[in-house]
Structure 1
Amino acid sequence: MTAYALSLAGESVLLLPQKALYWPRRKTLLVADIHFGKASAFRAQGVPVPRGTTSANLAALDELLALHPVERIVFLGDFLHARAAHAPATLAAMLAWRGRHRKLALTLVRGNHDRHAGDPSALLGIEMVDEPWQLGPFSLCHHPDLAAPGYVLAGHVHPVFRLAAGRDALRLPCFLVGAARAVLPSFGAFTGGFAVAPAAGERLFLVAGEAVLALPGRG
């Protein structure tokens, strides 16, 4: 796996191919839009979608914890997708994961889906905060366009970039990075994406398999 090292607000960070951001100095992992229980919410409405997205999300977190020394995970909103995400099976899986990581600090910056779904179970031991939440030079948010005093790290958009070559095209998750904010890709399985184009002064960093690559000639 090849991360992309970057300086944001005077801090060295890593854009990870697992669609998260790692802040080494604070041993902090930032994850946007994990959307636990989204598949359960669809099934509750009679839509036949695959099972296993909660397990996939937790396994992805475990992979990152094995690769990097992490003391805190900050979820940048949309931890739960809907009220159906409080299903017993979903909660049981999350509690089992939490039991393996008792010393890990967890913080959730509430997003729009969290307001509808309600806070996760207190048994998970997650610190609940509203946006913007200040940590060092960063304003940690869910919505990227929120007025905030620091450099904004946010989610919400689920950014992807359409990479075309002749008749072939790919939609790749990406980090959208500008002078005052960075938008992380959606971390969760089964979350989709919204095609973005960089504005003046913005850069795209594509998640291409096991590497994060800077898109040249843009922004």
Structure 2
Amino acid sequence: MTDKNTVIIDLEESERTQTGELSEIVSVEASGVLSVKNVSDKNRIWNVRVHVAGSRDKTSISEDVIGVGEVDAGGTWQTQYQIQIDRPILTLTETFDTCCSVSTPEAHWAYVHGKENPVRITLRVKNESDGQLDALVINKTVPPELSNIRIENVQSGNASFDESLRVIVWKDFIIYPHEDSVLTVTATGTVDTTDPKNAGEVSVTYRGESLQRSSLDPDLTALTDFMTGI
């Protein structure tokens, strides 16, 4: 790398989604970090400006030009921003059937008190984007009412049940654009009260290396010891 290529502008964006009891989207929000990295090991840059005119719509960035100032050799400057989005790039649907031995159009939702209930949990994740999603890790908390946990079928990747943590871990797979993947787990449900029961939380993390939630297309100008306008 030469002194003519000393600056990198990097965007790292993330999204967070909360779903309800019926897998409906309750909230979705996105945020990002814009970084200016001076990768030179000897030259500082100053009078740095990041230009985002025409691409900052639906972000919390309020100016067309962001004044950065000075970035030392090997240093990094960062700023955070929020992004307005309507839907996430990955959706999760969970079906919790409390009597999977009886086939019906819709899943059963109630336990039979004092009986062993054949339970099937189905997790489906879908890539809603035009890019590939990887580094997926799905953690499903198993409620205390369930025993005899068994991975019935995993469409892709690897799934296991951590008995000490009572968590089903599904990972090591890729979802291609507009495709989905399914995991099914069976168990035995036993309840000794008529109180409502929690089906257990599900958390999902994933990465879209080439995907961007905002439309930001930043450019940069600065002064260095050798040149102006990077």
Instruction: Please state which structure has a larger fraction of its residues in helix.
Output: 1
TM-score by length of structure 2 reads: 0.22
Higher Cα Rg: structure 1 or 2?
2
What TM-score comes out, normalization by structure 1 length? 0.23
- Structure with bigger strand share is 2
